[in-house]
Chain A
């Protein structure tokens, strides 16, 4: 029998789950109250056994993983929450190359890349990137994180008096780089070329330099950037383009050169940003640009200049990952990831709302933000690990389960995952009518 008191406690818990992390982000008073409250919130989620975030993995990001939640519980899960798209993070040849590099160069680079932190292995990676893209006359700037590439490149490329026009779904690293630059920042509606053109018309005469920032694959929706028209418009109005291929480099395009290759605009993009943490399976990132731009970025991107160079082990691993991506094995893995994504979509199509995704970043929109904690907890307890997203990361009441399909998932794993999603859809009432 449920007493009135039990009912009240349940209601209070329900209300508590409605908090989102942004509600703790600011406080007007001197006390760090927002930090205390946020910490308190996390403790409560742990105590109620519904906190599925920051759980510890006990092995590599393979397609099935064991994890330990913050409250000590251990779960065995199908892994659709890692963007190790081509499985290179645990590829034996990549690991061996990393081991060889660490044995030769040591653990860390121990200096800024412009002082004494650039090793032979870094130069090898730069050369390998130019070779992979078939653009030998370009330059490469290596960074120790993907986030830092956008932060440093945009801050160095644009200045006060310039204008940066960004897709409204652009990644936080692009937004923060734009803010750091001191340039005027404007946003156009996601993939809306009419809106982009309206803004370019407004700004092209009033600012000394205009940079348009977009992505190859948008990580929140899993859709492709409209790169062909973006590049055409930028050229028409004399603007520069930055394309972040974080989720598409090595994966999209016949040769793995990204969505720019798919749309035939690789030669026309001014600033090509890649991340090593996804298709490459490592950490870090790089800018591919005209030689004089990359040389300038090496010195004027402050987070590069004033950070230690990329670590040798990862750099060695990335060289090998690029070799693999350029080989027949790379082509096979690229084909397989697309087949896997298509198969997963086919299993769910017409049964749940799949949003606008047409890549290996799959979304299932469950809508109600208030279900997020319970739904994620449910999915993990059923054996599926995903990357769940709610407001403010996505629009209000358009909360979604995001899944990263990899080339290494088996058909059986995909079928199991789809079955869990459909069970959850029934349980949480988000099956399509």
Chain B
């Protein structure tokens, strides 16, 4: 597929039901989202991406790659197998990797290796594991709140704080955007590849400044010791929505790429 054909799949103006043979399987509605990309040593990214996947970290500068930490506050009413879910929270941890540009789809904005997701909804976790093959973590008491300054979002549960996101943009403005992305994930020695779509109003910026920290929490238990709890250093890019935005996130049926 050449670029002319790829661009005809403009995500902003088409309701794409399938991508390169992968059918649309999930449609989430999210009322608030935080997605921060932190700079990390490429060597550390490599340690968290199994070598057999042959995936390469995406470098923004020689020796510097990106770890993507996210928080999603889901609207009540998202449906799984006919069951309407209450509002729930999700945290994510990905590493940015190189994309697959050979597919019949628009150029992906980001491609992730999904390291772990976590939520306070068991049905959601089961769906993420069974359908999308994502490694999940369950915490019934997971929640998030904004501090008085409205610039810091703290995520925590009964076992303590998980992470903090600090907005470094003094005057955020929110613009409509829509794009496709890709992800890789490992489940029981199987490597899967999937495609996702995102749309909504969001603030994207790269203002420097102190952007948050991760805490010594069980959600970190599968991390190598090269990423220690504490301040996360420079945030390469921040993306966040205002509260009560109807953000859309869609997933397409992932493919098994390789078994080990």
Q: Is B63 an interface residue (CB 8 A)?
A: yes
Question: Given A11-B13, A179-B62, are A189 and B3 also a contact pair (CB < 8 Å)?
Answer: no
Q: Which of B16-24, B145-153, B202-210, B219-227 contacts A (4 or more CB under 8 A)?
A: B202-210
Q: Is B55 an interface residue (CB 8 A)?
A: yes
Q: What chain B residues lie within 8 Å of A40 (beta carbons)?
A: 2-4
Question: Given A11-B10, A37-B3, A396-B237, are A29 and B62 also a contact pair (CB < 8 Å)?
Answer: no
Which among A12, A27, A175, A392 is the interface contact of B101 at CB below 8 angstroms?
A27
- The answer to whether A31 and B102 have CB atoms under 8 Å apart is yes
Q: Is A236 an interface residue (CB 8 A)?
A: no
**Closest-CB distance, B46 to chain A (whole angstroms):** 15
Q: Is B99 an interface residue (CB 8 A)?
A: yes
Q: Which of A18-26, A116-124, A204-212 contacts B (4 or more CB under 8 A)?
A: A18-26
- B binding-site residues for A, Cβ under 8 Å: 2-4, 6-8, 10, 12-13, 39, 54-56, 58, 60-64, 97-102, 107, 109, 204-208, 234, 237
Bound together, the chains give a CA A287 to CA B239 distance in angstroms of 42
Bound together, the chains give a CA A392 to CA B110 distance in angstroms of 14
- The answer to whether A23 and B7 have CB atoms under 8 Å apart is no
**Closest-CB distance, A89 to chain B (whole angstroms):** 31
Which among A11, A41, A395, A398 is the interface contact of B3 at CB below 8 angstroms?
A41
Secondary structure call for the A interface? helix
Residue of B nearest to A16 (CB): B7
Bound together, the chains give a CA A8 to CA B13 distance in angstroms of 8
Which among B8, B58, B109 is the interface contact of A12 at CB below 8 angstroms?
B8
**Closest-CB distance, A56 to chain B (whole angstroms):** 25
Bound together, the chains give a CA A33 to CA B20 distance in angstroms of 15
Q: Is A28 an interface residue (CB 8 A)?
A: yes
Q: What chain B residues lie within 8 Å of A36 (beta carbons)?
A: 2
Bound together, the chains give a CA A5 to CA B39 distance in angstroms of 43
Q: What chain A residues lie within 8 Å of B8 (beta carbons)?
A: 12
Chain A to chain B: the 6 pairs with minimum beta-carbon distance, closest first? A395-B206, A179-B62, A40-B3, A26-B98, A27-B101, A33-B101
Secondary structure call for the B interface? loop
Q: Is A127 an interface residue (CB 8 A)?
A: no
- The answer to whether A37 and B101 have CB atoms under 8 Å apart is yes
Sample (18) of A-B pairs whose CB atoms are under 8 Å apart: A12-B8, A15-B10, A23-B107, A24-B107, A26-B99, A26-B101, A27-B99, A27-B101, A36-B2, A37-B6, A44-B3, A44-B4, A168-B61, A178-B62, A179-B63, A395-B205, A396-B204, A397-B204
Bound together, the chains give a CA A36 to CA B4 distance in angstroms of 12
Bound together, the chains give a CA A52 to CA B6 distance in angstroms of 23
Bound together, the chains give a CA A19 to CA B109 distance in angstroms of 9
Bound together, the chains give a CA A34 to CA B3 distance in angstroms of 10
Question: Given A37-B107, A40-B4, A41-B3, are A396 and B205 also a contact pair (CB < 8 Å)?
Answer: yes
Q: What chain B residues lie within 8 Å of A31 (beta carbons)?
A: 102
Q: Is A185 an interface residue (CB 8 A)?
A: yes
- The answer to whether A189 and B234 have CB atoms under 8 Å apart is yes
Q: What chain B residues lie within 8 Å of A187 (beta carbons)?
A: 39, 61, 64
Bound together, the chains give a CA A258 to CA B95 distance in angstroms of 41
Q: What chain A residues lie within 8 Å of B204 (beta carbons)?
A: 396-397
**Closest-CB distance, B146 to chain A (whole angstroms):** 23
Bound together, the chains give a CA A34 to CA B61 distance in angstroms of 19
Question: Given A37-B3, A40-B4, are A28 and B107 also a contact pair (CB < 8 Å)?
Answer: no
Q: What chain A residues lie within 8 Å of B205 (beta carbons)?
A: 395-397
Residues of chain A in range 339-354 having any CB-CB distance to chain B below 8 Å:
none
Residue of A nearest to B206 (CB): A395
- The answer to whether B206 and A398 have CB atoms under 8 Å apart is yes
Bound together, the chains give a CA A395 to CA B208 distance in angstroms of 10
Q: Which of B3, B7, B99 has the most CB of A within 10 A?
A: B3
Residue of A nearest to B239 (CB): A396
Q: What chain A residues lie within 8 Å of B102 (beta carbons)?
A: 27, 29, 31, 33
- The answer to whether B12 and A34 have CB atoms under 8 Å apart is no
Q: What chain B residues lie within 8 Å of A44 (beta carbons)?
A: 3-4
- The answer to whether A29 and B100 have CB atoms under 8 Å apart is yes
Over the window 36-68 of chain A, the binary record of Cβ atoms lying under 8 Å from chain B Cβ atoms (1 yes, 0 no) is 110011001000000000000000000000000
- The answer to whether A26 and B56 have CB atoms under 8 Å apart is yes
Bound together, the chains give a CA A57 to CA B10 distance in angstroms of 36
Q: What chain B residues lie within 8 Å of A398 (beta carbons)?
A: 206
Bound together, the chains give a CA A217 to CA B187 distance in angstroms of 50
**Closest-CB distance, A131 to chain B (whole angstroms):** 36
Bound together, the chains give a CA A395 to CA B235 distance in angstroms of 12
**Closest-CB distance, A151 to chain B (whole angstroms):** 12
Residue of A nearest to B43 (CB): A184
**Closest-CB distance, A228 to chain B (whole angstroms):** 22
Q: Is A261 an interface residue (CB 8 A)?
A: no
- The answer to whether B206 and A28 have CB atoms under 8 Å apart is no
Over the window 162-190 of chain A, the binary record of Cβ atoms lying under 8 Å from chain B Cβ atoms (1 yes, 0 no) is 00000010000001101100000101010
Q: What chain B residues lie within 8 Å of A37 (beta carbons)?
A: 2-3, 6, 101, 107
Which among B62, B97, B101 is the interface contact of A185 at CB below 8 angstroms?
B62
Q: What chain B residues lie within 8 Å of A19 (beta carbons)?
A: 107
Bound together, the chains give a CA A178 to CA B59 distance in angstroms of 15
Bound together, the chains give a CA A251 to CA B96 distance in angstroms of 41
Residues of chain A in range 217-249 having any CB-CB distance to chain B below 8 Å:
none
Q: What chain B residues lie within 8 Å of A185 (beta carbons)?
A: 62-63
